[in-house]
Amino acid sequence: MYFALNKKINDDFSVNGTFGANYRDYNYHYTYIKAASLTVPDLFTIGNVSGNPTTSQTDTKLRSNSVFASASFDYKKSVYLDLTARNDWSSTLPSSNWSFFYPSATVSWIASDLLKIDPQILSFVKLRASWAQVGNATDAYQLAMTYSSKDLNPYNGTTPFHLPTTMPALNLKPESITSTEIGAELKFYQNRFGLNVTYYDKVAKDQIMDIDISDASGYDKMKINAGEIENKGIELEFQGQILKSDRGLNWNVAVNWAKNKNQVNKLYSDLKKYQISSSWGSITVEAIPGEAFGVIKGVGFNTDTNGHIIVGDDGLPEASKTPIVLGNVMPKWTGGINNSFEWRNFNASFLIDMRWGGSIFSVTDWFGGMSGVTEETAQTASRAGTNGKNIREVGLVVGQDVLKNKTVVKADGSANDIVVSAQDYYESYWNTPEQGIIDASYIKFRELTFGYSIPHTILNKIGKIQSANISFVGRNLALLWTHKSNDVGIDPETAFGTTNAGMGIEQYQLPATRSLGFKVSLTF
């Protein structure tokens, strides 16, 4: 439910506004019944189950109320001020905290309307700034211990129940995100070229998360408000009409580039780290105060004061005695370029995007080397300094050519010259998961489209259809380039899923897929 206001005060000033409210009553009911085997083959009814069926049921209820308002003021259609305000009440929070308010304000100025600028050179100028807060509650039933039935057969005719292993939150507060943004939009040469620049600073506070606690408490985790994470950076976008013709070839280019600086400002109380995910070989991905979100830690190489890797008397790299920082999942920058073409009734476009920097732990690389199934385990000894023979026959000396340009020395600081067998070296991967750390940089052929628009002379004969286009569409077509440390050729994007649980870790994933198809678009 909402109400709207549109008022022109005078020739220069006008205001638009809305006010509304929202009531949400959420009820979720889920029932699951499974038969592991059937008494009569191909009779798919639960009454035909052989043995006891597996059953479960979930009921979730929550309620929220909201009131919201917005107002937009403009002066001479050149200066705009937009204000919003919203207050939510959520049943998933304690009664003392279930109300939370979040406002926003945006101001913009279309300078080209008020300044005398030659449109042949500078066609459009818009400056903008904004500040906003966003609040967020949590899921239902996080405030008290709620029993759940075990998905097992009844014990002596009684269904067992259990308490959660996560301790309920105490005085839980809503999450909040505060963001500040400034930017400019410029267009040149009668809008043929454009540049959009944005600087932003976003701080997330009171994040709701589960932290590890002592098992002596009877729980393994506790839900709390923990953490403040800040993201700030710059985004650039360039658009240009390289070729422009009413009847000939048109070529448009769009280039974007973004650099984000991420930092964990603080965690809960004296908490030194928060584990985001983990993998084989003691590898963990963590949030650490003062560091970028997504620090990769694990057992690595033992190094001297100069950072040179030390080998033991057996010629194999020594492992660090404790986990060390091996990298961070966050990229240095991302970007892309899209080209689109039109010629008469034909249209085509292709998109290339890229990521530079950031690390991932690749189980494929680490485990593949350890088990001797990757290409590097059968390399020619020209890379290992033993006259061009296969290292499986003559062994290798662990040096820069083997350890990806890292200096390797003995304990006394002298250059390593100890020959080891290929099997001994690659089996030592198990002791140093750092061998599986690779650079996640890539360039991808992301998308290709090629289409044809049906001429209006044909559509007019059909009637009712205003426009029609048929296109071939291909997505995720090719991995054009990866960093040389990615010598197994995995798709780095497989290590970045939709949640934080698998961030920075490549394991168990299915290979990347490309999709090819056709699209038909009709306008009536």
CA distances from 206 to 173, 177, 227 (A): 7, 9, 6
pLDDT, tens only, 479-495: 999 999 998 989 999 88
DSSP code at position 456: H
**Token pair belonging to 242:** 């390289």
pLDDT at 1: 63
- Which of 62, 69, 57 is closest to 17 using CA atoms? 69
- 8 A C-beta contact, residue 57 and residue 93: no
Question: Which tops the pLDDT comparison, 266 or 181?
Answer: 181
**Token pair belonging to 98:** 């279930």
Read out DSSP for 54-103?
EEEEEEEEEEEEEEEEEEEEEETTTEEEEEEEEEEEETTS-TTT-EEEEE
pLDDT at 79: 92
Vertex 359: Cα angle to 355 and 365 (nearest 5): 110
Phi and psi of 381, rounded to 5°? -75, 0
- Which of 273, 303, 304 is closest to 290 using CA atoms? 273
**pLDDT over threshold 80, residue 293:** yes
Question: Does the model's pTM come out above 0.95?
Answer: no
pLDDT at 3: 72
Residue 470's SS3 state is strand
**Token pair belonging to 68:** 């919201």
Q: Summarize the confidence of residues 85-106 as an average pLDDT.
A: 94
pLDDT at 316: 93
Phi and psi of 495, rounded to 5°? -95, 10
pLDDT at 63: 95
pLDDT at 203: 95
- 8 A C-beta contact, residue 281 and residue 319: no
Vertex 389: Cα angle to 386 and 390 (nearest 5): 110
What is the C-alpha to C-alpha distance for residues 77 and 73, in angstroms, rounded to an integer?
9
**pLDDT over threshold 50, residue 453:** yes
What is the C-alpha to C-alpha distance for residues 433 and 418, in angstroms, rounded to an integer?
22
Read out DSSP for 188-226?
ETTTTEEEEEEEEEEEEES-EEEEE--GGGT-SEEEEE-
What is the C-alpha to C-alpha distance for residues 501 and 490, in angstroms, rounded to an integer?
20
Vertex 258: Cα angle to 255 and 261 (nearest 5): 175
- 8 A C-beta contact, residue 274 and residue 287: yes
Q: Summarize the confidence of residues 412-440 as an average pLDDT.
A: 92
pLDDT, tens only, 329-382: 999 999 999 999 999 899 999 999 999 999 999 999 999 999 999 988 888 764
pLDDT at 457: 82
**pLDDT over threshold 50, residue 268:** yes
**pLDDT over threshold 90, residue 121:** no
**pLDDT over threshold 60, residue 56:** yes
**Least confident piece of the model among 26-30, 47-51, 474-478:** 47-51
Burial 11-28 (b: 16+ CB within 10 A, else e): eeebeeeeeeeeeeeeee
Neighbours of 285 (CB within 10 A): 26
Q: Summarize the confidence of residues 93-97 as an average pLDDT.
A: 91
Q: Amino acid identity of 407?
A: T
Based on its alpha-carbon atoms, the radius of gyration of the chain, rounded to whole angstroms, reads: 30
pLDDT at 152: 58
**Token pair belonging to 432:** 């140093």
**Least confident piece of the model among 35-39, 146-150, 450-454, 508-512:** 146-150
Q: Summarize the confidence of residues 31-35 as an average pLDDT.
A: 86
Vertex 172: Cα angle to 168 and 177 (nearest 5): 130
Instruction: Assign 221 a pLDDT band (cuts: 50, 70, 90).
Output: confident
Distance of CA 249 to the CA centre of its chain: 37
Neighbours of 250 (CB within 10 A): 16
Instruction: Assign 383 a pLDDT band (cuts: 50, 70, 90).
Output: very low
**Token pair belonging to 120:** 């042949």
Read out DSSP for 292-343?
-S-EEEE--B-B-TTSPEEB-TTSSBPBPSS-EEEEES--SEEEEEEEEEEE
Q: Which residue has the tokens 């000396």?
A: 397
Burial 160-185 (b: 16+ CB within 10 A, else e): eeeebebbbbeebbbbbbebebebeb
- In sign, the C-alpha dihedral spanning 496, 501, 504, 509 is negative
What is the C-alpha to C-alpha distance for residues 437 and 359, in angstroms, rounded to an integer?
7
DSSP code at position 372: T
